[in-house]
Chain A
Amino acid sequence: MSDYRILNTRAPRVDAVDKATGKAIYTDDLRRPGMLYAAILHSPLAHARILNIDTSRAEQLPGVKAVVTYREAGTTPYGVSPARYDETIFCHDKVRYVGDEIAAVAAVDQDTALEAVRLIKVDFEELPIVLDGRTAMDEGQPLLHEMHKNNMCAKVNWHFGDIEKGRKESHIIRTDHLSSKMQDAAFMEPQSILAETESNGNLTMWSSTQAPHYVQRTLAMALNIPLHKVRVIKPAVGGGFGPKASCSSAELAVCLLAMKTGQPVKLTFDREQVFLHSRARHQFFHTMTTGVKKDGSLSFLEHKCILDGGAYASFGIATVYYSGSLLGGPYRLKNMKYDGYRVVTNKPACGAQRGHGAVIARALFEVQLDRIAEELGMDPIELRLKNVMEAGETTCNELYVSSFGMREALEAVRDSAAWKNKRSSSGKIRGGGKGIGAACGFFVSGAGYSIYRSRTYHCTVVTKVDEVGGGVTVNSGSADIGQGSDTVLAMITAEELGLSLDDVQVASGDSKLSVDLGAYSSRTTLMTGHACREAAQDAKRQILEAIAGKMSVAPETLDLKDGFVVSLAGEIDFSELRKEYLQEHKGFVDLPDGPQLTFAEASRVAFLELGTIVGTGKYRPPPLGGSFKGAAVGTSPAFGCSAQVAEVSVDLETGEITMDKITGAHDCGFAINVTQVEGQMHGSIMMGMGEALMEEIIYDKKGRIVNANLAEYKIPTALDVPPLDAIIVESNEPHGPYGAKEVGEGAIMPVIPTILNAIYDATGVRIDELPVTPERLMAAMKAKKDKKG
């Protein structure tokens, strides 16, 4: 049991009632006077030269207010990583995927805007296309971008330790492969954008985004507006998972239309556009060779990966680094070589998605560990326990783990799932259609560096005490995208100021409120949490100093608890202060009359003494990581880790897979909100399960998505998800606020390999292509049977 009043509880989310009752305002709910509607012309071709764009008929359509192409937008390159700016607001020379943005229209209503888009005539010269990431770098392949020679937009060649030495020490060496498919994050709320300008040239954009700060910067840069004149506001957001973490051409186009017309302009994506814009999980082709010594300790990992990232770089450079760096943990691994290649192809661009870059790599490595355990005749959980890192260790790629409940998590799932009763200790599989499997995971708790090179604080928080007394407002640029960060900020503030949650308002998701890098890399609880605590403590200090001054006592002898000022040095007579407060509130009822001074009184008196009280807090991680090229990616002030056990049933005659149960344990350092930690674990497991068993974007030969809708792109339904058992491990992270670190992404890391290992246990068959559909499993079982013949 903790000593906290609010933290470490199941406090209801601050937005729960509004979201449950439909009161929460999302971007698409917003209406502004004189608002226009936008539509975008997307390329119907995967690769073509643009010969001419004729917008004349669209411009003549009654109701059309503006038509914009690259001619109006300019061709300032932008993107995510400053070293790889390869996008422009609209295509000007070429289109590079089906869906690439060519033009946009603003009109009085949506029908007119859509009709106008249909009237834009584009002359194309079709070009040969590249669809297969594995061969995209080959000689003679059509080139997408001049700047990405051989269609390679980023590569990583790392060698830590000495893998040849590791090879020599190995008792077993095995090589395995795993490939995945491009994915969609399938968030509930399609992207929605509303932009408006003011007469002084200020631009405000409301957008369904994860990262108002980065979006603000990109808008200012690509539209050439001073940064301070751009404001990005994030209303309620229905999920992001990564694809909403960067500025989109749609956001830029809508702002441009608002600037051209002087009227508010709105655009909400159709679900098909969500698929076309993508920026979701890359397609990965991994090959790993892993060696272990006789006793099961890891000796080396040699890892190659090609990432198919679609038409633009987006987050891809970070993705290819993460694919390699995050295999540094959670096991002791001294020798690791990684060669990663991120290629471009004529498909929608991929970006970051929950478990950025590391999910499929983790899946293959954990599958390898099971195969090695089988060869060694060792229980796969025992093999893992033999290798897990402990707090205070550093990985071969210089990631320092300051807290690490990996062993506890693994033991917790082993015991909770009764592993020992279900799986033979010799690593032998069960077969017969019933299977159990385990795996671990490792993830950052906030990226150690901002995306652009800077000494910037990663977040600041401004907590303002109401001048009337009684409440406080937390101002933060952080982005609650459904993960619950506003609730975390409210809980921290309430805890520090001794308030109830109802007396804390959180204003967030607005670039005017404070700097915050946004909701990505599982950073908000740790980083914004730090800044929020500091701001609350700062406000508290000022209030108590004011009261102490009035009472002529030392500020250190006062504290705020349960809505009151308490004196640590014996009872104090506050009646003078109360008198002043009561005098101000003639006619009010339910005024304070107890022996203690209330927070309302104290904060009012403090205002009367000092004027407006504002507490501020800030956070930036200390310098992290090694000095090798790319060492910054994968660094973090702290690392989360998790273990899971999956139990499955496989119909051996049809290949149908039923998930029976998943038991997961995650080390989040300290659970600020217990229910939210469990919720992130549940969500991660469901998402990972979809990736393991169902989800794949399917393209036809011309690069068109065949299943660009949620009927044909399968994610698990409530009926598919098995009972989930979420176990929280708390290792008390020294670098986290109150000991807290991430859970948002780390919990997805073990899901896919846990399921793959369980399927293997059930069937004796390994699948090296995701997702494992009944048909793929059936084909593999048939192939095995035929081989046995």
Chain B
Amino acid sequence: MLLPRFDVLVPETIDDACAMLADYADDGVRILAGGTDLLVDLRRPIIPQHVPRCDGCPTHPEGQIATTIECEPSKSDPLMSPEGSIRTKLADPKSAAPAFLVSLHKIDQLKGIELLPSGGLRIGALTTISEIERSSEIRKDWTALAHGADSLGSPLVRNRGTLGGNIANARPAADTVIPTIALGGKLTLQSSSDTRTVAAGDFPTGPGLSVLKPGEIVTDIHLPTPSPHSGSAYYKMANRKALEISTVGVAVWMVLEKPGGPIKDVRVALGAVGPTPILAKSVGKVLIGKVPTDEILVQAAKAAAGDARPIDDHRGSAWYRVQMVEQLTLRLLKSVLSGIENDR
């Protein structure tokens, strides 16, 4: 096993967890939820240069095989994908080999899916992707998130991986995050001193980077009350049918004023086409207030493609990703619409 040595702290309450994060901040501490990303990221590679993957990095300072090389993401390197660059952050020695992991698995407050009196939904951050997959409420009223859960990793990964972890990891292709953004999800962040709420779309700030402060934990995710005549869907495109990181992922949420249109509200979120998931704001400008027609949906899909900011990397080229955003957005807009119509 090529994992570095670390101690695992096991708090039983959110407050204790926050306190531990604060107490051990100087020693290097990371939050452990399902571990499906963290443990992979902590693994020490055989070839140190496999970590940063960016050009212009010093490969062997002073001719020595260095332990870890720090480097900044380089936009010019075609291999420096939005996905790849999260690893760059880990090249910081402190975060690469934390002395402590705070495991959340015993904190019951972080678990469970709860229908709120308002009609909205609260999902504890520690809820596994499998639990989301199996939730009939989510599949019915927040369908895009069920689709995202279906397409994440493999059954084994889904049994371990958590919604909070998928969000906090802040990867631009995260399969449950793209739907959560389209559904208008809100996140609760808690630290020893503060509790605050941020929109899911405002959480990530870069590949692997987010507004989460040191000592803060994502505690739960709120999905708003489903509107009448609304629906949602997510589609992940990749080279194989499981165990994949998407080439492009698109989530669509839409509300009609009444059956047959016009469109009251719409949100389209895009994955793997920028340093963070992208809320394609141009789509709303095209569609809101309009009766959906084939022509206008095509226009909306083109608008979504215009909002994408992909780069070339080993998972796909920018031109292909832009094309796929357009194609997938169009398909999802149509399928969500027909879902709403059939629901009546």
Please give the residue numbers on chain A whose beta carbons come within 8 Å of chain B beta carbons, in ascending order.
41-42, 44-45, 51, 98-99, 110-111, 114, 118, 120-124, 270, 272-273, 276, 653-654, 656, 693-694, 698, 700-702, 704-708, 711-712, 714, 716-720, 773-775, 778-779
Contact check, A719 vs B242: say whether CB atoms are below 8 A apart.
yes
Determine if B53 is an interface residue (Cβ-Cβ < 8 Å): yes
Determine if B333 is an interface residue (Cβ-Cβ < 8 Å): no
- Tell whether A720 pairs with B317 under 8 Å between CB atoms, given A45-B59, A110-B1: no
Which 5 A-B pairs give the minimum distances between C-beta atoms? Answer: A719-B241, A123-B63, A717-B242, A775-B320, A272-B46
Inter-chain CA distance A121–B64, complex, in Å, is 5
Residue of A nearest to B83 (CB): A712
The answer, among B44, B47, B48, B65, for a CB contact under 8 Å with A120, is B65
Inter-chain CA distance A711–B314, complex, in Å, is 13
Instruction: Note all chain B residues with C-beta closer than 8 A to A123.
Output: 63-64
Contact check, B47 vs A44: say whether CB atoms are below 8 A apart.
yes
- Tell whether A44 pairs with B59 under 8 Å between CB atoms, given A270-B2, A706-B79, A779-B320: yes
Q: How far is the CB of A732 from chain B (nearest CB, A)?
A: 40
The 20 sampled A-B contact pairs (Cβ below 8 Å) are A41-B65, A44-B49, A45-B59, A98-B47, A114-B2, A121-B64, A123-B63, A124-B60, A272-B45, A272-B47, A276-B47, A698-B314, A700-B79, A702-B59, A717-B154, A717-B242, A720-B240, A720-B242, A774-B239, A779-B320
Instruction: Note all chain B residues with C-beta closer than 8 A to A774.
Output: 237, 239, 247
Contact check, A775 vs B47: say whether CB atoms are below 8 A apart.
no
Residue of B nearest to A272 (CB): B46
Please give the residue numbers on chain B whose beta carbons come within 8 Å of chain A beta carbons, in ascending order.
1-2, 5, 40, 44-50, 53, 55, 59-60, 63-65, 67, 79, 154, 237, 239-245, 247, 314, 316-317, 320, 323-324, 327-328
Contact check, B239 vs A714: say whether CB atoms are below 8 A apart.
yes
Most buried by B among A41, A720, A775: A775
Contact check, A706 vs B314: say whether CB atoms are below 8 A apart.
yes
Contact check, A44 vs B60: say whether CB atoms are below 8 A apart.
yes
Contact check, A99 vs B239: say whether CB atoms are below 8 A apart.
no
- Tell whether A700 pairs with B53 under 8 Å between CB atoms, given A42-B47, A706-B314: yes
Instruction: Note all chain B residues with C-beta closer than 8 A to A693.
Output: 239
Inter-chain CA distance A41–B65, complex, in Å, is 9
Inter-chain CA distance A706–B244, complex, in Å, is 16
Inter-chain CA distance A698–B312, complex, in Å, is 14
Q: How far is the CB of A714 from chain B (nearest CB, A)?
A: 5
Q: How far is the CB of B101 from chain A (nearest CB, A)?
A: 17
Instruction: Note all chain A residues with C-beta closer than 8 A to B323.
Output: 778
- Tell whether A708 pairs with B316 under 8 Å between CB atoms, given A694-B240, A778-B323: no
Inter-chain CA distance A694–B1, complex, in Å, is 28
Contact check, B59 vs A122: say whether CB atoms are below 8 A apart.
no
Instruction: Note all chain A residues with C-beta closer than 8 A to B1.
Output: 110
Instruction: Note all chain A residues with C-beta closer than 8 A to B314.
Output: 698, 706-707, 712
Residue of A nearest to B59 (CB): A44
Q: How far is the CB of A294 from chain B (nearest CB, A)?
A: 42
Q: How far is the CB of A606 from chain B (nearest CB, A)?
A: 53
Contact check, B55 vs A701: say whether CB atoms are below 8 A apart.
yes
Q: How far is the CB of A713 from chain B (nearest CB, A)?
A: 10
Residue of B nearest to A690 (CB): B240
Contact check, B46 vs A273: say whether CB atoms are below 8 A apart.
yes
Q: How far is the CB of A653 from chain B (nearest CB, A)?
A: 5
Contact check, A121 vs B65: say whether CB atoms are below 8 A apart.
yes
Inter-chain CA distance A700–B59, complex, in Å, is 13
Contact check, B50 vs A272: say whether CB atoms are below 8 A apart.
yes
Residue of B nearest to A99 (CB): B47
The answer, among A114, A705, A707, A720, for a CB contact under 8 Å with B241, is A720
Contact check, A42 vs B46: say whether CB atoms are below 8 A apart.
yes
Inter-chain contact total with CB atoms closer than 8 Å: 101
Inter-chain CA distance A276–B45, complex, in Å, is 12
Contact check, B60 vs A118: say whether CB atoms are below 8 A apart.
no
The answer, among A122, A708, A716, for a CB contact under 8 Å with B64, is A122
- Tell whether A654 pairs with B46 under 8 Å between CB atoms, given A122-B64, A701-B55: no
Instruction: Note all chain B residues with C-beta closer than 8 A to A779.
Output: 320
Q: How far is the CB of A775 from chain B (nearest CB, A)?
A: 4
Q: How far is the CB of A482 from chain B (nearest CB, A)?
A: 22
Instruction: Note all chain B residues with C-beta closer than 8 A to A716.
Output: 240
Inter-chain CA distance A221–B241, complex, in Å, is 47
The answer, among B239, B245, B247, for a CB contact under 8 Å with A694, is B239
Inter-chain CA distance A716–B242, complex, in Å, is 9
Instruction: Note all chain A residues with C-beta closer than 8 A to B53.
Output: 700, 704, 706
Contact check, B320 vs A778: say whether CB atoms are below 8 A apart.
yes
Q: How far is the CB of A778 from chain B (nearest CB, A)?
A: 6
Inter-chain CA distance A123–B60, complex, in Å, is 9
Q: How far is the CB of B155 from chain A (nearest CB, A)?
A: 10
Inter-chain CA distance A669–B328, complex, in Å, is 49
Inter-chain CA distance A698–B78, complex, in Å, is 12
Inter-chain CA distance A775–B239, complex, in Å, is 9
Inter-chain CA distance A76–B269, complex, in Å, is 60
Inter-chain CA distance A707–B45, complex, in Å, is 12
Residue of B nearest to A716 (CB): B240
Q: How far is the CB of A104 from chain B (nearest CB, A)?
A: 13
Q: How far is the CB of A299 from chain B (nearest CB, A)?
A: 39
Inter-chain CA distance A222–B334, complex, in Å, is 67
- Tell whether A45 pairs with B60 under 8 Å between CB atoms, given A99-B47, A121-B65: yes
Residue of B nearest to A698 (CB): B314
Instruction: Note all chain B residues with C-beta closer than 8 A to A118.
Output: 65, 67
Inter-chain CA distance A98–B46, complex, in Å, is 10
Q: How far is the CB of B179 from chain A (nearest CB, A)?
A: 20
Inter-chain CA distance A120–B48, complex, in Å, is 14
Inter-chain CA distance A700–B81, complex, in Å, is 13
- Tell whether A114 pairs with B317 under 8 Å between CB atoms, given A653-B327, A701-B55: no
Contact check, A276 vs B46: say whether CB atoms are below 8 A apart.
yes
Inter-chain CA distance A717–B244, complex, in Å, is 10
Q: How far is the CB of B60 from chain A (nearest CB, A)?
A: 6
Contact check, B64 vs A704: say whether CB atoms are below 8 A apart.
no
Instruction: Note all chain B residues with C-beta closer than 8 A to A702.
Output: 49, 59
Inter-chain CA distance A213–B247, complex, in Å, is 46
Inter-chain CA distance A698–B50, complex, in Å, is 12
- Tell whether A114 pairs with B44 under 8 Å between CB atoms, given A122-B65, A123-B63: yes
Instruction: Note all chain B residues with C-beta closer than 8 A to A124.
Output: 60, 63
Instruction: Note all chain A residues with C-beta closer than 8 A to B67.
Output: 118
Inter-chain CA distance A526–B65, complex, in Å, is 49
Instruction: Note all chain B residues with C-beta closer than 8 A to A111.
Output: 5
Inter-chain CA distance A124–B62, complex, in Å, is 9
Contact check, B63 vs A654: say whether CB atoms are below 8 A apart.
no
Q: How far is the CB of B294 from chain A (nearest CB, A)?
A: 15
Residue of A nearest to B40 (CB): A711
Contact check, A704 vs B63: say whether CB atoms are below 8 A apart.
no
Residue of A nearest to B153 (CB): A711
Residue of B nearest to A710 (CB): B243
Q: How far is the CB of A717 from chain B (nearest CB, A)?
A: 4
Inter-chain CA distance A694–B244, complex, in Å, is 12
Residue of A nearest to B77 (CB): A700
Instruction: Note all chain A residues with C-beta closer than 8 A to B48.
Output: 44
- Tell whether A704 pairs with B49 under 8 Å between CB atoms, given A114-B2, A122-B63, A775-B316: yes
Inter-chain CA distance A694–B242, complex, in Å, is 13
Given A272-B46, A272-B47, list of 9 further CB < 8 A pairs?
A45-B59, A121-B63, A701-B55, A714-B240, A718-B242, A719-B241, A720-B240, A775-B316, A778-B320
Most buried by A among B49, B60, B239, B244: B239
Inter-chain CA distance A704–B69, complex, in Å, is 15
Residue of B nearest to A776 (CB): B320
Residue of A nearest to B57 (CB): A702
Instruction: Note all chain B residues with C-beta closer than 8 A to A705.
Output: 50
Instruction: Note all chain A residues with C-beta closer than 8 A to B328.
Output: 654
Instruction: Note all chain A residues with C-beta closer than 8 A to B59.
Output: 44-45, 702
Q: How far is the CB of A46 from chain B (nearest CB, A)?
A: 10
Residue of A nearest to B48 (CB): A44
Inter-chain CA distance A41–B60, complex, in Å, is 14
Inter-chain CA distance A51–B60, complex, in Å, is 14
Inter-chain CA distance A480–B82, complex, in Å, is 44
The answer, among B2, B64, B240, B317, for a CB contact under 8 Å with A775, is B317
